Structure 1
Amino acid sequence: MFVLINVFILLFFSCFWGRFDFKSKVILRFLIWSGLVFSFSSFYINGVDWTVYFSKFSYEDNYYLFLSFEPGFVIFLKALLFLTYGNFGGAIFCFFMITFGFLMYSLEKYKINEPLFLAGLILACGYTLILEQLRQFIACLIVFVFLINYNKNKSLVRLIFGVTIASFFHISALVVIPAVILCNIKNRFVFIVTTIIFGILFVLFLFFGLYILEQIPQFAFVVRKINFYLEQNPTILQLGWLNLFVLIYTVAYVFFSYSIERNSNANLLNRFIFVGSIIFIFSGTFPFLGRMTLYFIFIALYIISDPKKNWRIGNAIVVNGYFSIFLVLNFSSYFRNDLAPVDFDNLNYCFLNLFDNNYMQKIATENLPEMLVGE
C-alpha cells in the first residue's frame, strides 16, 4: 500500500505533465521531491537491511566496513554520518534528499514524463532497490545517467568511467560494460545470437566456474558476493511466471528486431533492454540475477516515458500495455516472497523515530539478521 499511494499520486501528475508550463513544473518537481524524501525516509525502518548498516557503521571500524561493503558507499555514508553528527536517521534522510534530487535533476534534462518514470520505478523497485538496497540504488542512478549520455555521444571511455564509479557503490554495475559491448555488434542477427549464447554460457559458469575464479585474488570480492547470494537462494533450475512473461518479450524482439531497429532512434537502448531480458529469464534459477536487471529496467522506463518516441498508436498500446503488466507482476512478486519484510497493508511511518538513535538501536537489536554480510 505504501508504494501504491506514491505511484497513484505520480500517475495523476503524469497524465497532465505535458500541459504544465515551466513554472508549474518547477513547483511540482519540488513537491514531488519533498514528498518522496519524506515518504521513503519515514518508511525506511520497516525494512531489514538498514539494521545491518546501522550496526556495522555504529560499531565496526573502517577495516571491517571496507571488507563488508564497496568503498564508495562506505565513504559516502561515513560522510553523511559526519555531517549529521553520527545520527543514522539524519544520514538516511540526507541520502534520500541527495539521491532523489540527483535523479529528478537528471530526468528534467532528458525532457521525459518525469512523474511517469518515477511511478514506474517505485512500482517496480520501491520495496527493494529504493527502500532496502541503498548501495545499488546509487549505482543504478550513476549508470542510468552515463548510459543515456552514451546513447547520445557514443563515448565508451566516459561510459566505462561512469560504470567504474558506480561499481565502487555496488559491484553489480560492472554487468553494464559487457552488455554495452554486445549492443555495439553491428549485425543484428549476430547480436541476437551472441547475446543468447553468452547468456547460456554465463549460467553454465555460475553452475561450474565460480570455484576456479575464486582462486584468483583479484576476483575474490566479486565471487564472495555471488556465493553469498547463491547460498541465500539455493539453485534450482526453474522459470517463474514473471520469467515466462519476460520470455515473451525476448521472443518478440527476435522476430520483430528488424522492424524495431529500422523505426527507432534508440537502437542501442532497445538492444540493452534485450540483453537485460536474457538475464531476467535466468533469475528464476539464480534469484540474484534479478538485482542485475535493475539497470536495464531504468532504461526501459526511460523509453516508455519519452514523449518524443515515434510509435504508431497500435504499437504504443501493445508496448505500454505489456510493460504495465510487467511492472504490476514485478510489484506483486515481492509479496509472494515469504522473506519479504514489508506486508502489503503496512503504512507504518516513523519519521520522528528515525532520528532517535536509541529507538533505532532497540529496533536494530530486535531485527538484526543472523548473516551480517553486505547485500
Structure 2
Amino acid sequence: MASRRRTRLRSGLAAVLLATLAPLGVVATATPASAAECEIGKTQYFPGASPVLQRLGIGQAWTLARGRGVKVAVVDSGVNDDNAHFPDGVVLPGVSFVAGDPDPTGRTDVLGHGTAVAGIIAARALPEKRSGLIGAAPEVQILPVRVFTRDTDLQPGDTGLTGSNIARGIRWAVENGADVVNVSLSAPSTNISLGEIKSALALAERRNVVVVASSGDSDGTSRTEQRFPAAGRGVIGVAATNVQGVVDDYSVHGEHVDVAAPGSNILVAFHANGDCQTGEVALTSWAAPFVSALAAQLKQRFPEESAAQIGYRIASTAQRPVAGQRDDRQGWGAIRPYEALTATLDTRRPGPAAPGQEQVEAVASEPTGARAMEVSTDPLDPARREVLWWLIGGGGLAALALVLRPLVARARRD
C-alpha cells in the first residue's frame, strides 16, 4: 500500500525535524532515520538484539506478560500493514478520518510515523530475516486510527494534523474496543480544539481506557509549555531519554510529564520495508509507545485493575534519584517494566498519589533520601530459600529435642 516514491531520510536532518502547522500548533515528530539511509521501496533489516529493550529488561518482563488479548489503538498517520513485522491479524481494521482516503480502515501510512510507533509496540519477530526488531509487547493487536496524512509540505488532497482530528481519533478508539490508546502527537493549551480533546479524554476515563501521550518535542523556544493530550486528566505523559538515559531539552518539560522512556536509536518498522533505526536525537514520539506497550502488558496481567491503577503502577515504580520527588523533565522517572509488573499497590510507597489517596501525595512531596530500587533477579534464590527453610526446620527440631530430652529421661525413671 505504501507509495513507491523513493524518499531518502538522512540522519541529522529527519531526526531533528519538528513539523508545526502554524495556525493550529499541532506537532508530530520526525520520520525515522538512521546512519544508514532508509529508503521507501528498499527493504532492509537491522540485525542484533535491541540494546534499548535490553536496558529496559523487556525479556524479564515477557516472562510475566506479552500483551496477549490487548488492543492498542495508534492515533496517528495510519499503520502500513504490508510491513512483514505485521502478519495477518496483528493490525486490525481501524478507521481513517482523512477525507477521501481510499482505505477507510487506517491501514495506509504515507508519512511512516504511525507505522514506526506501532512497530515499537507490537512488531513480531522475524528471525528468518535476521532482524533485531521486536515490539515491547509482541502479542498485542494494533487498532489503527488515521487522523492525518502529512504534517509538512501539504499537497492538494493531503490532510494536515489538527486537534479536532486527534480528539475524534481518541473518541473512536475508546468506542471501538481499545484497551490502550497511544497518541504520539501533541497540541498546546491554546489549540482551538482543546475542548474536544478534553471531552474525548473524559470518555476514555469513564470507559477505563489507558491513554498514553508524548509530552511534545521542543522547537528550541518552547520547552516548558503544557501539551495535550499529555496534560489531560488521567493521561500518562511521556518524555524521552537520550542515549545517556537522560531527558534533555528536546523534550518539552512541564507538569504534564509523568514518566520517561527511551527516545533515541530506536529500531522501528519502516513503511512496508522492514526496519529502520531512528537517530540519536531523543524524540517523544518514540518514547510514548514503550509506555503504551507496558500498559498493555499490565492490562493482560491485571485485567481487573482500573486505568488509574495501571498508571499508578507505571509511575510509582519508575526509577528516580529520590523516591518521593518528581520533576518537570522526567516526571516520576524512567519506566521499569518488570518492577511495574511485580509491584504491589502499596499506598504508602513514596511517590505519586495512589488512586483515591491524597495523603500519599503530601508525603511524597517531602524529600525522603530513598534511592530507587534496581531490578534484579537472583537465579539461585529458589535454592537459597529451600536451604533456609531446611535450616529453620532443623533448628526447630533441635530446639524441640532439647526441651523434650529431660522429660523423656524423667518418664523413664518413673
Give me the TM-score of the superposition, normalised by structure 2: 0.26
Indicate the structure whose relative CO is greater, using CA pairs within 8 Å and at least 6 residues apart. 1
Give me the TM-score of the superposition, normalised by structure 1: 0.27
Structure having the higher helix fraction is 1
Structure having the higher strand fraction is 2
Greater Cα radius of gyration, structure 1 or 2: 2
